[in-house]
Structure 1
Amino acid sequence: MRNQKALVQGKTGKNRPLVCSRDAFVLRQKNIKAKVNKNVLEDIMNLTKILAVAALAIAPVAAQAQNLTARDASSIQNFFLDEGSDVELLEDNVGDPQLNVIHYGSEFTIFFYGCHDNTNCDSIQFYSGYATDGGVRLKTVNTFNAEKRWVRAYVGDSGSTKLEMDLYMGDGGINADDFAETVGLWSRLMGDFEEVIGYN
């Protein structure tokens, strides 16, 4: 047998080389290895796709679990506690949650709204009241409201002056960083208002 190969008559009538048994074994092993490698690569790619889809599905749930929500007053209370603030969780006059907060020297109250059976609320209101006894002119308050966004000021029937800011939190709530920005905005505007009304 020349070069360990022989010629056989193919189905098409052309001469084809007949590979000896050793060469056939080596070729078969190469084909098996190539097929295995291809299958492993496909399995890895499929597993990667599955993990990616799972990560996308889990990520929003994990992010939502860390959000602050009006549905859980303790999540907002814990935010202020983590900031080193003094905060007390109470109930308002209709039984809804209420937070009394002292945050970096500023005192204010957070009321909860859109509640169902005094729980599962959907929004909050930052509130600060000042016993100005009618000493603040309505024009001063109107000018402040015209110049400032986000908050509203008004003079109550007793002559006290009040400042409020509402925040809708919905079902999913907001993350701690955005809430911190909101608290910072409220604190700055509250300071601006106290300066305008001459509150010390």
Structure 2
Amino acid sequence: MLTLTSAVAADVTATRPDSLIAALQNAGYQAKLTKDATGDPMIESRAAGFRFRVVFFGCDNGANCNQVVFAAGFLTKEKPTLQDINDWNYDKALSKGAIDKDGDPHLRAGLWLQQPVSEDYFKGFLEVWDSSLGEFAKRFVK
């Protein structure tokens, strides 16, 4: 029997980084909670064979965050062009590619999580992220 307490405990929200850790681990991902340079929460993980970070935004002194961005960057010998990245972005609704100052490709996907979402909803997001990350790496990491 599902109680209100257990239903709430399964919700995923940026205000509780531990809820993201649990949801990632329940979905079979590694998840290590750390902090970024400003003291906000950050999660290190892997998907599609590549490392990525979950960076928290909209935080108040390292707490009460309202959104997360899944981010992965790649050091590559062959640098994609801006047109290559624009072509990638054109038909992607969730994840977006970019090129850093060194010409290396990065992939990001944001998720507003001030209000809790179900763990099933979050798992759906993870499936899209995992797929996008694999496709992005296949296309741009050479």
TM-score, with structure 2 as normaliser? 0.88
**SS in structure 2 opposite 1:177?**
helix
**SS in structure 2 opposite 1:174?**
coil
The list of structure 1 runs, each at least 4 consecutive aligned residues, that deviate by more than 6 angstroms after superposition, is none
**SS in structure 1 opposite 2:31?**
strand
Change (3 A) 1:161 1:103: closer
1:80 positional shift:
2.1
CA RMSD in angstroms comes to 1.9
| 2:112 aligned partner | 168
Letter in 2 for 1:193: F
| 1:142 aligned partner | 86
| 2:138 aligned partner | 195
Which structure has more relative contact order (CA 8 Å, sep 6+)? It is: 2
More displaced stretch, 159-168 vs 131-140: 131-140
Change (3 A) 1:129 1:156: same
Q: Are the equivalent residues in 1 in contact too, given 2:48–2:131 (CA < 8 A)?
A: no
Equivalent residue pairs, number: 140
Take 1:105 and 1:119, find their aligned partners in 2: how far apart are those partners?
30
Take 2:128 and 2:28, find their aligned partners in 1: how far apart are those partners?
18
Letter in 1 for 2:60: H
1:179 corresponds to 2:102: no
Larger Rg computed on CA atoms: 1
Deviations 1:29-48 (A, max 9, x none): xxxxxxxxxxxxxxxxxxxx
More displaced stretch, 147-156 vs 126-135: 126-135
Take 1:139 and 1:107, find their aligned partners in 2: how far apart are those partners?
25
Take 2:89 and 2:49, find their aligned partners in 1: how far apart are those partners?
24
Letter in 1 for 2:34: L
**SS in structure 2 opposite 1:110?**
strand
1:76 positional shift:
0.7
Take 2:139 and 2:64, find their aligned partners in 1: how far apart are those partners?
36
Change (3 A) 1:92 1:185: same
More displaced stretch, 99-108 vs 176-185: 99-108
Aligned pairs for 1:97-176 (under 5 A) are 97-103=41-47, 105-132=49-76, 135-170=79-114, 172-176=115-119
Q: Are the equivalent residues in 1 in contact too, given 2:47–2:133 (CA < 8 A)?
A: no
Deviations 1:53-74 (A, max 9, x none): xxxxx85x76434301101111
Letter in 2 for 1:163: L
Take 1:82 and 1:193, find their aligned partners in 2: how far apart are those partners?
25
Take 2:26 and 2:92, find their aligned partners in 1: how far apart are those partners?
29
